[in-house]
Structure 1
């Protein structure tokens, strides 16, 4: 099998340094003489991306289900482009991906809905849409190209609060960021468990302590990405290629 480019995703909480570290990583890859294609989600330049931009800047209000589907549609807009870059042997470097979409959507319901396993509706619930759970949130992204490596930049909401620009967008609130972090942690555990069992579908998940000095974070990221510079021999995986619910991992977190 011919080698293809590697697909690397940088995830993390708001103000964790994702965009800065992604840009530094892009420069280092280019300096190493390798081709790299950069993607950032949401892509606010597309028609769908412009709707998302208005929402994130609190200039429009949309139902949470609609918002989630818009973010997913934004990723599908570029899915064929990502595959094309990989086939051409380029390393694709992505700032946020489907994991963020799931984490932020599910985090919204955690305070008032600790468990979504029941199918019994109270009288007050009739006429209301069901809250977003992991099964529903994951479905629109099923079969998207899967990253070979996801680097999760972990930073506490307290540290993020001290960084410039914090609080400018809708989700940049300490309580929300804390809930998002807990969902990301569970996603990481599930992906890591699958990788340990040799399952191919969601790639490898690495947690990076992004609360440290920037240079230290940069060097740790490079150690994980450098082995992928010459590409990979496996075919491109697809997100949620197996039924992860069977493992019981999601159930143990009482999200559905």
Structure 2
């Protein structure tokens, strides 16, 4: 069937837009399944959560391997959803590993190889949120990747750079959520039969 990836920095509205997209697909008589990464419910996901919460220390290579392993843990579930003819909506997928990994000084080719063999996406929609909007939408409970404004700006810029390189769709996520949803819907509508 089809995999649609919703990407973006913290508080870009990925969870909201994934849900709205799923609801829209229902109106088109399409079943969908949403996956969110990292998935903290799995054994590897628990390690990632500890790292992001500051309870564990890992070298950048290790955390990015764990993030990839977290997707591999769910790969059979993804394949099962596709086999049932569901549209699979990813609230983040391996694209965020490319972005965060590059900013953490890792080689892009090396990062790409971590996920080689996972089900491939049909499209990526980047919810491009201004860093100032991300910070004003969420004041507390930021993880270690989300606290640092300089890091956040690098992430936002790297998302835009890789979006050009890989031909991802870009939606301005600093708009109202219904405006964002309309643009997401328009992009997806062109690709579903």
Distance in 2 (CA, whole Å) between partners of 1:145 and 1:165 is: 35
SS at match of 1:162: helix
CA shift for structure 1 position 50:
0.6
User: Corresponding residue for 2:13?
Assistant: 17
Gapped regions of structure 1 (runs ≥ 5): 110-131, 193-204, 231-256
Q: Of the candidates 75, 86, 92, which is equivalent to residue 88 of structure 2?
A: 92
Aligned to 2:78: 82
1:48 to 44, 49, 52: 44
Residue 99 (structure 1) shift: 0.8
Q: In the alignment, does 2:22 pair up with 1:26?
A: yes
TM-score (norm 2): 0.93
1:1-256 alignment to 2 at 5 Å?
A: 5-109=1-105, 132-165=106-139, 168-172=142-146, 173-192=148-167, 205-230=168-193
Q: Structure 2 CA distance, aligned partners of 1:164 and 1:107? A: 22
SS at match of 1:151: strand
Q: How many Å separate the matches in 1 of 2:90 and 2:139?
A: 22
Deviations 1:90-148 (A, max 9, x none): 10011001110121122123xxxxxxxxxxxxxxxxxxxxxx22122222112221110
Instruction: Identify unmatched segments of 5+ residues in structure 2.
Output: none
Q: 1:223 to 1:90 in 2, by over 3 A?
A: same
- SS at structure 2 position matched to 1:28: helix
Query: C-alpha displacement at 1:71, in angstroms?
Result: 0.2
Distance 1:43 1:35 in 2: 21
- The ranges of structure 1 where at least 4 consecutive aligned residues each deviate by more than 3 angstroms after the TM superposition are 227-230
Q: How far apart are residue 176 of structure 1 and its match?
A: 1.1
Shift of 1:170: 1.0
3-state secondary structure, aligned to 2:170: strand
Q: Partners of 2:152 and 2:145 in 1: how far apart? A: 7
TM-score (norm. length: structure 1): 0.71
Q: Secondary structure at the match of 1:169?
A: coil
In the aligned structure 2, how far is the partner of 1:93 from the partner of 1:69? 22
Deviation at 1:227, TM superposition (A): 3.6
Structure of larger gyration radius? 1
What is the total number of aligned residue pairs between the two structures? 192
The CA deviation at 1:30 is 2.1
